Amino acid sequence: MIWVTWRQFRAQAVTAAIGLVLLGAVLLATGPGLAHDYATGRAQCNGAGCHQFAEGYLNQHQKALLELTLVVLVVPALLGLFWGAPLVARELDAGTHRLAWNQSVTRFRWLAVKLLLVGGSCAAVAGLTAWWVTRWSVPLDDASRLDPRLPLGMTFAARGVVPVAYSLFAFALGVAIGMLTKRVLPAMAVTLVIFLVAQFGVGVLVRPHLAPSHTSVAPVASATLANFNVSRDGIRMNGDVPVRGAWLLSRSMVDASGARVDVIPASLEHDPACDPTISKDITACLNLIASQGYRQQSTYHLPSQFWRLQWTEAGLYAVGTAGLVGFCFWWLHRRVV
């Protein structure tokens, strides 16, 4: 049974191996230069110069990082579509499953071998892809701590253990949908839709609550100012994340009573300290705003909570995967004939 499953699966396995080799070659060719440029620039900078170096370094390589991050995010979906959905649906559609069952192979063994062999391959492909990209990205991660342009929320799903959890969930989802539809193309379409909905829902609605968040309230100073805009309505501004590398969940201005305000009143614009025509130095204006009781309230996760968030989310997907696998065996026993 193992040999038959491998024979059916070898084309996909060879394709994945070629893709991994090509990805590894690209990362090996560009990674040493990336690390050397960062080490050289970091050794030559100091103080504010390191912030400027990190900004330029991130701007130079951010596109490549985002592209590689997208690769890691796409891999689980592709595995669910092209490895999970056709795995059983193709055999149920063609009727070849009956041939295996009539050769002293039980239903459960037939399905278990397929799930273990192909599911294990899914975990290996996703894990290697995420690990290689993570290793390549180490200099950029260090630079982002100097200039936090890459928040945890952007790269979280492409790092650590969650890509493996995503791939196993997508694979099990594809198998389950394939058993329900018994048709490959409908199974692929439904798998893609459900997986994307699950990814979006967990990322937006669930992930922020997987660990206790931290909230801080502090005035915005020149050193922490991220943006400052004066308009007819009033003054809009934001400060940096209070902790470098933290994952910002929400940020808003509050008044002296703690109530949220979207715009600081326009009356402050007419004060000489905030008149944009007097000077480009807005330190006096920021001090005036702080004296009126306006503060920035930030809610965020600390960098130290990264692995807690990773393992908790991976556990949620593991529970979903186990439920889908259990459903597949139940459906095979009760429904498939």
Q: Tens digit of pLDDT for each residue in 208-243?
A: 999 999 999 988 887 777 777 777 777 888 887 778
**94 lies in the same domain as 144:** yes
pLDDT at 309 over 90: yes
**310 lies in the same domain as 180:** yes
**163 lies in the same domain as 70:** yes
**297 lies in the same domain as 242:** yes
**298 lies in the same domain as 313:** no
pLDDT at 62 over 80: yes
Please report, rounded to a whole number, the percentage of residues in the chain having pLDDT higher than 90.
41
3-state secondary structure of 212: coil
Task: Quickly count: other Cβ atoms within 10 Å of residue 105's Cβ.
Answer: 15
Residue 270 belongs to domain spanning: 214-303
**153 lies in the same domain as 246:** no
Q: What is the mean pLDDT of residues 11-35?
A: 91
pLDDT at 150 over 90: no
Torsion of CA 99, 104, 108, 112, to 10 degrees: -80
Cα separation, 236 vs 222, in Å, equals: 14
Helix axes 162-181, 85-94, angle to 10 degrees: 20
Span of 18-27, 102-111, 128-137 with lowest mean pLDDT: 102-111
Q: Which two tokens stand for residue 17?
A: 């191996």
Q: Give the distance, in angstroms, between the CA of residue 104 and the centroid of all CA atoms in the same chain.
A: 45
Nearest of 55, 255, 36 to residue 143 by alpha carbon:
55
pLDDT value of position 165: 97
pTM of the model: 0.87
Please list, in sequence order, all residues whose beta carbon lies within 8 angstroms of the beta carbon of residue 329, skipping any fewer than 6 positions away.
108, 111
**10 lies in the same domain as 130:** yes
Ramachandran angles phi, psi of 216, nearest 5°: -135, 150
**Is residue 152 within 8 Å of residue 247, measured between CB atoms?**
yes
pLDDT at 106 over 80: no
Cα separation, 324 vs 331, in Å, equals: 10
